[in-house]
Structure 1
Amino acid sequence: MLPRTPDGRLAPPTSVVRDAHREHLTVHAWTFRRENTFLPTDLRRGDDPAGTGDLAAELRAFVGAGGDGLFTDNPDVAVAALGARP
């Protein structure tokens, strides 16, 4: 859905969501975590790999790219970032 550039930043969306939706498929991404080591370099905060980065921004980017759902170890962050959706 959203690849990473060679330096680890989020890149623009690919056509995978559009292509999947064209085939009437639902697209879920996983597993999102807030620790820096799991985040794109542009969303990390500080130098500690175990530190908390900007998970909310990553979640918004994936949903903004058309993803239908996601899995995360931090549902509280997802609800705060995306709002509760039925």
Structure 2
Amino acid sequence: FNIDLILCDWNMPNMTGIDFVKALRGSGQKSNVPIVMVTTEGGESKIEEAKNSGANGYLTKPFTPDQLKSKLGNFLLVK
């Protein structure tokens, strides 16, 4: 199956979103799929950590539909 985009929270059971991003990027599988962190964890240091781990984007909750569309529009083409 095709995966066009992964939305990932920072706070997940069993592993953090950062751990997930690092594991996926390190596996070589789907390494080209964009990952956008969607989380309540804000702040420049968190955003920088996510990007350094391999996330392509970051969106802090709560967000508006327009903010979501704007962020995801950077990674997806409307079909």
**Richer in strand (by share):** 2
Q: What is the TM-score with the length of structure 1 in the denominator?
A: 0.38
Provide TM-score, normalisation by structure 2. Answer: 0.40
